[in-house]
Amino acid sequence: MADENFLPVERPPTIPALARGTTRTSVTVELANLPSVARRRELNDRLLDHTCGFMPADGRFVFTADDLGLLLLVTHERFGSTSSLLRRQAVSALGQLDDDPAVARLRELVMSPVEHDQVRLTALTALTPDRSARMYDELLGDSSEVIREHVRRLTGAAQAERRATPGQVRLDPEVSLRDGHDPRTCHCCS
C-alpha cells in the first residue's frame, strides 16, 4: 500500500462563476413566432393521439403530403428514450402516404440491421404487401431471428406449431380445506 504522506493533496476543481448568475428567469415563448416548432408539436400530438389504450380512438389519424418532411425527420431521430413510441408512430404514418420518399425510407428501415426489430417490423407492416413482398427473399436470410420468423409467417413458410391450450387446474378440496379455504362457499372459486 502506498504511503499517504507522499500522495498529492486533492483539491476540488474550481468552477468558474456563470456570467449572469446561477439562476435565471423563465421565458415564455410564443409559438406563433415559431411556426415550424408549432407544426412539429402539432404533428407529435397527432402521432401520439391514438396510443393510449384507455382512451377511445375517434378514428384513424390522417396524414397528408404536407406532413411528409416532418415524418421523415422523426424517423431519422433515433436515440431519444422518450421518442421511441413517437418514432414508431411516424413509421406507421409513412405507410399511409403513397409517396416515393416515404416508401424509400420504409424500405431503408426494414433492411437496416442496426435498427431495432420493433421499428423494422413496424416499417415492414407499413409497406403494402406488394411492395414488401419484393424484400422477402432477402429478409429470410436476415441476421435477426425475429425478422426471419415474421417473414416466414407472412410467406406461409413457417410450420404451424401446436401450442398448449390453456386450461383450468381442478381445485383439490382437501388441500383447500386444510389451508382454511372452502371452495364450496368461496366467491373466487365459483
- pLDDT above 80: residue 117: yes
Q: What is the dihedral of CA 95, 58, 84, 135, to 10 degrees?
A: -20
Instruction: Describe the crossing of helices 100-111 and 68-76 by its angle, rounded to 10 degrees.
Output: 10
| Rounded-to-integer distance, Cα 21 and Cα 18, Å | 5
Amino acid making up residue 87: R
- CB distance 95 to 121 below 8 Å: no
pLDDT at 71: 93
Radius of gyration of the chain (CA): 28
Q: How far apart are CA 71 and CA 112, in angstroms?
A: 18
In the predicted structure, residue 69 carries a pLDDT above the cut 90:
yes
pLDDT attached to residue 12: 75
pLDDT for residue 48 is more than 80: yes
Note the pTM of the prediction, 2 decimals.
Answer: 0.65
Separation CA 187–CA 190 (nearest Å): 6
Most trustworthy range by pLDDT among 80-84, 153-157, 164-168: 153-157
> pLDDT tens across 22-38, in order?
887 888 888 888 999 99
Lowest-pLDDT choice from 2-6, 19-23, 35-39, 134-138: 2-6
Q: Residue 175: which pLDDT band, with cuts at 50, 70 and 90?
A: low
Give me the pLDDT at residue 4, please. 76
Q: What is the mean pLDDT of the chain?
A: 80
Q: Answer for the pair 138, 149: CB distance below 8 angstroms, yes or no.
A: no
- What is the arithmetic mean of pLDDT over 104-121? 93
- The answer to whether residues 90 and 47 touch, using CB atoms and an 8 Å cutoff, is yes
Residue with cell 422518450: 82
Q: Is the pLDDT higher at 126 or at 175?
A: 126
pLDDT of residue 119: 92
pLDDT band at 190 (very low <50, low <70, confident <90, very high): very low
The confidence score (pLDDT) of residue 57 equals 59
Residue 118's nearest CA partner among 141, 85, 96 is: 85
